[in-house]
Structure 1
C-alpha cells in the first residue's frame, strides 16, 4: 500500500516531480512490490487534494523510466525491480533535473555525424549517381542552426582570445582543459545523474579518438579482448574495437533493450549500450533492465559503455537519468558530447572513466604522449558559456524547436501512412529521429533510392544490422531524422514519401 507523500506546493520542485520521486522511493524501499496497483489518476488527485494533471504527468514519467506499466482495465502497476536494490538512493538528477524548467541547463548530445555521413547511409548504386537536389532532407544527423547564438558565442571567443591568447597558442592539458572538465562534471551531476569528478573526464575532438584511447586503456588493464554490442546499433563502437583486435559479438534487442540471456552467454569483458534512447530503434531501457545490466557487469567483472547520445532530449516528462549514476562506483564508461546542441565543427566530446581505470589511462598517455585534440579556444569558450548559463538558455530553445519538429513528423506519418501495411513508428518522444517500419516486398535500398530520385533523403536501418542480419519479422525500417529539416517541409516531404512508396 502506497503511503501518501507530503507535497510542498511552495517548494522549488514541481508537484509532479515530488510525486514521482516519492513513488520511486516507495518502490525501492519495498513499500510497493511488483505488480502493486497504484491509485487511479483521479483517485490519487482526490486523496492529495490536487488537480489530475500533475498526477498524470508523474505516472507518465514513471512509465517512461520503467518503474510503472499501464494496461487497459488493469490500471497503473509497479514493474519488477531487480532484487537487492531496496533502499537505493535516488540520483541527483531525480531531485534536481527540473532546474531545466527554470531555464538553467537542458541537454547535451553526442553527434553521430562523423560515421553516419549521408553517403554511408545510401547503397553503392546511389553514390554513383549525381545528387543534384534534395528538397526534403530527413538525414539523421543534420543540425538546425537557426537559433545558434552567433553574437553571444563571438563575444565569448573575443573575451577568451583577448585575455588568454598567448597561453592558448601552446599545448593544453592532454586530458582537456580543467575548467571545462569541472563544468562538465557539475552539469552531468545535476542533470544526468552522473557521479564523477573532473579527474575522471577525458575531452577529445571526436568519438573515434576517445574510443581508441579507451581500447588502449582496456588493453593496458589486461581485459579480455571481447565486446558485446547492440544489434542493430551504432557502427563506430564495434568498428573501433574490432580494429584493435577485439572480438565483437552482436546481441539482439528485445522491447527493453539488450537481451540479457544472450549477453550472459557471450562471456565478454565489455558491453556497449544506449539505454536512454537506443540507437537506432529508440526504446528506453527500464530501470529493471539497467539494474540487471549493472549486476551482470559486477558479476562478470566487465564494464558497460553507456552512450548517452541524446538522453537529455525527451519531449514528454523529464530526461531519463543516466545508468552510470544508479550506483556508487558503477562499472560504467559514460560517453557524451556537445556537437548536436551547438555545432559539430567545435569538435567537443568527452568520456567519463571509472576511477579504477584512471591509472591505466595514465599508462597509455605515458607510452604514447598524445596531445589534446580539441581546440583550447573552443574549450575555454564553452567553459565560460556554460558557467554563465548561456548553454542552458540555448538548449532549452533547441528542445522546444525539436519537439515541434518531432510532433509534426509523427503527425505527418500517422496522416499519410495510416493505411500502409504493418506501419509502426518507433523511438518517438525523444532524440532527433524516428524509425518508420513497414511491410514491403521491395528491398529497402531500392525504396531509399526511389525517394532520393524524388528529392527526399532518408536512410535505411539495414546498414546498422550486424552480419547481414535483419528484423525477424521481415519489415523494412527507415530512419526519419527531423532535426535539420525546416518545419514547413516535414508534412509535404512525408506525403511525397508515402506516394512514392505506394506507387
Structure 2
C-alpha cells in the first residue's frame, strides 16, 4: 500500500517530480511490490487535491525510467526491480536532474557527426555522412544553430583571449583544463546524476581519441582483451577496440536494451552500452535492466562503457539519469561531449574513469607523453559559459525547439506512412533522430539513393548491424533526423519521402 506523499508547493522541484520521486522511494523500500497496482490518475489526483496533469506526468516519467508499466484496463503497475538496491540514493541521482535547470549553482562547480573522417567514402557509408545542397535534410546528427548564443560566446572568447592569450598559446594539461573539468563534474552531477571528481575526467577533441586512450588504459590494467557491444550499435566503439587487437562480441537487443543472457554467454570483461537512449534504436534501458547490468559487471569483475551522447535531450518528462550514478564507485566508464549540446566544431568531449583506472591511465601518459587535443581557448571559453549558467539556459531553449521538431516529425510520419505495410516508429521522445521501420522488397541502400537523387537525405541503419546481421523481422530501418532541418520543411519532406518510396 502506497503512503501518500507530502507535496510542497514551495519546493523548487515541480509537483510531478516530487510525486515520481516519492513513488520510487516507495518501490525501493518495499511498500510497493512487483506488479502492485497504483491508484488511477484521477483517484490519486483526488486524494492529493491536485489536478490530473502532474499525476499523469509523474506516471509517464516512471514508465520512461522503467519503474512502472501500464496495461489496457489493468492500470499502472510496478515493474520488477533488482533486489538488494534499497540503499540507492535517489535524491543524489534522479531528483536533481529536472527538466527545468533554473537555479543551478554553477559557481561551485557524443559525437554522432558522421562515421568516418576519410575523404574517400565507400557507397555503403555515403548515406551516413551529411550531404550539402539537399532540399530536405533529415541527416541523423545535424544541429540547429538558429538559437546559438553567438554574441555571448564571442564575449567569453574575447575575454579569455584578452586576459590569457600568451598562456593559451602553449600546451595545456594533458587531461584537460582544470577549471573546465571542475565545471563538467558539477554539470554531470546536476544534469546527468554522474558521481565523479575532476580528477576522474579526461577531456579530448573527439571520441575516437578518447576511446583509443581507453583501450590503452585497459590494456595496461591487463586481463581485458574482449568487449561486448550492442547490435545494432555505434560503430566507433567496436571499430576502435578491434584496431587495438580486442575480440568483439556483438550482443543483440531486446525491448529493454542489451540482452543479458547473451552477455553472460559472451564471457567478456568489458561491455559498451547506451542506456539512456540506445543508438540507433532509441529505447531507454529501464531501471531493472540497468541495475541487473551493474550486477553482472560486479559479479564478472567487468567494466561497462556508458555512451551518453544525447542524454540531455528528452522530450517527455525529465532526462533519464546516468547508469554510472546509480551507486557509489560503479565499474562504469562514462562517455559524453558537447557536440550536440553546443556544436561539434568546438571539439570538446570527455570520459569519466573509475578511480581504480586512474593509475593505469597515468601509465599510458608516462609511456606516450601525449598532449591535450582540445583547444585551450575553447575549453576556457566553455568553462566561463558553464560557470555563469549559460549552458543550462541554452539546453532549455534547444530542448524546447527540438521537441517541436520531434513532435511534428512523428505526426508527419504517422500521416504519410501510416498505411505502409509494417510501418513502425521507434526511438520517440529523445535524441536527434527517429527510427522508421518498413516492409519493402527494395534494398535499403537503393531506397536511400533514390531519395537523395530527389533531394531528400536520410540514412539506412543497415550499416550499424554487425557481421551482416539483419533485423529478425526483415524490416528496412531508416534514421530520420529532425534536429537540423527547418521546422517548416519537416512535413513536406516526409510527404516527399513517402511519395518517392511509395509501394
TM-score range, shorter chain: over 0.9
Contact 1:434 1:479 in 2 (8 A): yes
RMSD (CA atoms): 1.8
- Distance in 2 between the 1:462 and 1:66 partners? 28
Using the TM superposition, give the Cα deviation of residue 100 of structure 1 relative to its aligned residue in structure 2, in angstroms.
2.6
Hey, what does 2:63 align to over in structure 1? 63
Gaps of 5+ in 1: none
Which residue number in structure 1 is paired with residue 328 of structure 2?
Answer: 328
What is the match of residue 139 of structure 1?
139
Q: Tell me what 2:378 maps to.
A: 378
Structure 1 segment 201-240 matched on structure 2, within 5 A: 201-240=201-240
Per-residue deviation at 1:177?
0.3
Asked if the contact 1:121–1:463 (Cα under 8 Å) also holds between the matched residues in 2, the reply is no
CA distance in 2: counterparts of 1:175 and 1:462, whole angstroms: 36
Runs of 4+ in 1 over 2 A off after TM superposition: 98-106, 116-127
Alignment of 1:271-282 (within 5 A): 271-282=271-282
CA distance in 2, matches of 1:121, 1:488: 31
C-alpha distance in structure 2 between counterparts of 1:147 and 1:118, whole Å: 31
Closer/same/farther in 2, CA of residues 52 and 140 from structure 1, 3 Å limit? same
Aligned to 1:432: 432
Structure 2 matches for 1:254-403, cutoff 5 A? 254-403=254-403
Name the CA distance, whole Å, in 1 between partners of 2:257 and 2:61. 18
Contact 1:405 1:483 in 2 (8 A): yes
- Greater displacement, 5-14 / 312-321: 5-14
Distance in 1, Cα, partners of 2:447 & 2:211 = 34
Q: SS of the residue aligned with 1:275? A: coil
1:21 corresponds to = 21
Q: Which residue of 1 is the match for residue 42 of structure 2?
A: 42
Pair 346,332 (structure 1): closer, same or farther in 2 beyond 3 Å: same
1:405 pairs with 2:400? no
Deviations 1:48-70 (A, max 9, x none): 11111111100000000000000
Shift of 1:390: 0.9
- The match for 1:487 is 487
CA offsets per residue over residues 207-256 of structure 1, 9 Å max, x none?
Answer: 00000000000000003200000000000000000000000000000000
Secondary structure of the residue aligned to 1:350 is strand
CA displacement at 1:104 relative to structure 2: 4.8
- TM-score (normalised: structure 1): 0.96
C-alpha change, 1:281 and 1:406, in structure 2 (3 Å) is: same
Judge conservation of contact 1:105–1:391 (CA < 8 Å) in 2: no
Conserved 8 A contact 1:143-1:343: yes
Q: Please state whether the residue corresponding to 2:230 is helix, strand or coil.
A: strand
Deviation at 1:362, TM superposition (A): 0.3
Instruction: Say if 1:68 and 1:410 are closer, same or farther in 2 by CA, change over 3 A.
Output: same
Aligned to 1:176: 176
1:99 and 1:105 in contact (8 A); partners too = no
Q: Hey, what's the Cα distance between the residues in 2 that align with 1:266 and 1:192? A: 30
- SS in structure 1 at match of 2:319: coil
8 Å contact from structure 1 (residues 91, 325) kept in 2? no
Residue 442 of structure 1 and its aligned partner are, at CA, apart by 0.7
CA-to-aligned-CA distance 1:341-387 (integer Å, 9 cap, x gap): 21111100000000000000000000000000000000000000000
Report the alpha carbon displacement of residue 126 of structure 1 after superposing the two structures with TM: 6.6
Contact 1:126 1:449 (C-alpha < 8 Å) held by counterparts: no
Alpha-carbon spacing, 1:346–1:105, altered in 2? closer, same or farther (3 Å): farther
Q: Distance in 1 between matches of 2:121 and 2:423?
A: 22
- Output the CA distance in 2 between the equivalents of 1:99 and 1:33: 28
Return the alpha-carbon distance in structure 1 between the equivalents of residues 157 and 379 of structure 2. Answer: 10
Give the SS at the match of 2:248.
strand
Q: TM-score, normalised by structure 2?
A: 0.96
SS of the aligned residue for 2:436 comes to: strand
Aligned partner of 2:465 in structure 1 is 465
Kept in 2, the 8 Å contact 1:204–1:210? The answer is yes
Query: 1:82-127: CA deviations, max 9, x gaps?
Result: 1111232215242222273537599xxx221152679999835979
Question: Is residue 99–residue 318 contact of structure 2 (8 Å, CA) maintained in 1?
Answer: no
Q: How many residues are paired up?
A: 497
- Report if the CA contact (8 A) 1:277-1:431 is conserved: yes
